[in-house]
Structure 1
């Protein structure tokens, strides 16, 4: 991959290994992965179940506490990925994160407006409430959600609408990096172009996007580079799914449609 200037790199992983601890036992789930993601660029991470995709994304976002860097190095938005709570807080401020179950696990007793505003309100006690409301309304509109959705509860929304609410919440603080695990899961086909267009506008302003996805159309819409993982190892890289450079030992069936 072409190396970019440090100031323009949103994510840099150098020979990164990540270990997960369960029942007192540590196991490497990502092993020796290296890549760079420039500001304004998009990278899709693909691979079969158990390849380490979700662990990689959650660790880079600073939300995976059951996993730790076991070797190499990762820098996200200028913050070194590590185990300390202080570093995790810095990462969660610099990155917007949408996990596999974020849409399904929205706080059930909060309105949509309260959920989207939470990243800001949980950090700042004194805010201009009108400005926050306008900010929330703008994000919902950007992702194709009607203004009336702001006062509704999560159980009143479809799965795809809840997913877009989770995306709006992740974008609330204007992060430098968006890390999303299956970001369009459950989103209606008519709403998908709106979401991708919103991300494209933000990428033009410098937002870097790392998405975990198995959907070829999502990769095409995002015009993303692709990194393929298999058993925790990077086995292919390229632009889109039709121009991948594979390692000699790679099993190309890992991204078969």
Structure 2
């Protein structure tokens, strides 16, 4: 495995098939990316960009659902994950793939089994894989992950309803890491997590995977959360990759208006001229507006309202990135 890529995407096009009154929709167009062993890659884009669709495809979750829930499918190009070709993959091979691929969805924290404690939830994947797994060892491994993700040790005995949304999401991250996956695909793993610890959560994911020579694909709209942890980013906009490389290289030499907007958000307006980023005397779209003609108050790539509520422990509930479940 050390001599080959963990993930190789070559000109991948992904479509949501026609469903009910909806026509077929192409969510990803010509996506190309490689992930090497031990490499941590961030996949960046606004709501509706196609990044969550890619996470579902690469993790095998879309194929596991099959034709249910209008699942996306690869209709062009090639996607190899851990040596498995994902285009048209069979159920028997999917089962083998999931032995090496971990997945954390952006709503994983809200889907935890309600009658299990945190200790049971985090350790459960170990027993699903091996019913004879040592319980003391499993408990210690679960507690180590819970502690690393800055959750109180006392939370091990709590149930999901006793935790904030941000705490539940961190429990889901611990659950995704406990099997030591060769590739962890985390779709907005800090969704709902307090801004003060988001970077630390991504640090834990990156640090654990990198220390074992394993890899991660971390999907996010938040560049600052990724900045100190990932080796490279792939920026996707309307289903197309518009930037690829180390964060500072991508932002320092943007080749697309969306990336230029990210650079302004990251570095500030003093360093970059809003009206002439490409040096040709024109603004991005010729009308003097931002990339899509709308104001984005908090830089999350979503022009919708951002409603934040803060729980007792400081974890934030952000309703501005809900997406529509289809194009995220």
Q: With structure 1 as the length reference, what TM-score do the two structures score?
A: 0.88
Q: Residue 293 of structure 2 aligns with which residue?
A: none
Instruction: Determine which structure has greater relative contact order: mean sequence separation of CA pairs < 8 Å that are 6+ residues apart, divided by chain length.
Output: 1
Aligned partners of 1:49 and 1:196: how far apart in 2? 20
User: How many Å separate the matches in 1 of 2:199 and 2:106?
Assistant: 20
Q: Taking structure 1 as reference, are residues 192 and 27 closer, same or farther at Cα in structure 2, changes over 3 Å only? A: closer
Secondary structure of the 2:9 match is strand
Matches of 1:201 and 1:251, distance apart in 2:
29
Q: Is the 8 A contact 1:45 1:228 kept in 2?
A: yes
Residue 213 of structure 1 and its aligned partner are, at CA, apart by 0.8
Return closer, same or farther for 1:198/1:49 CA change in 2, 3 Å cut-off: closer
What is the aligned-residue RMSD (CA, Å)? 2.3
Task: Quote the residue 2:156 is aligned against.
Answer: 150
Conservation of the 8 A alpha-carbon contact between 1:73 and 1:80: yes
* Match 1:20 to one of 2, 16, 20: 16
Partner of 1:59: 57
1:219 and 2:226 are equivalent in the alignment: yes
| Partner SS for 2:77 | strand
Higher mean C-alpha displacement, 222-231 vs 22-31? 22-31
Q: CA deviation at 1:22?
A: 4.4
Structure with more of its chain in strand, by fraction: 1
The answer to whether 1:69 aligns with 2:109 is no
Larger Rg computed on CA atoms: 2
Name the SS for the 1:71 alignment partner.
strand
Q: Which runs of 5+ in 2 are unaligned?
A: 66-70, 266-298, 300-328
TM-score in terms of structure 2 length? 0.70
2:214 and 2:194 map into 1 onto residues whose CA distance is 24
- In the other structure, the counterpart of 1:79 is 84
Deviation at 1:8, TM superposition (A): 4.1
Q: How many residues in Structure 1 have an aligned counterpart in Structure 2?
A: 252
Task: Tell me what 2:100 maps to.
Answer: 94
Whole-angstrom distance in 2 between the partners of 1:151 and 1:124? 23
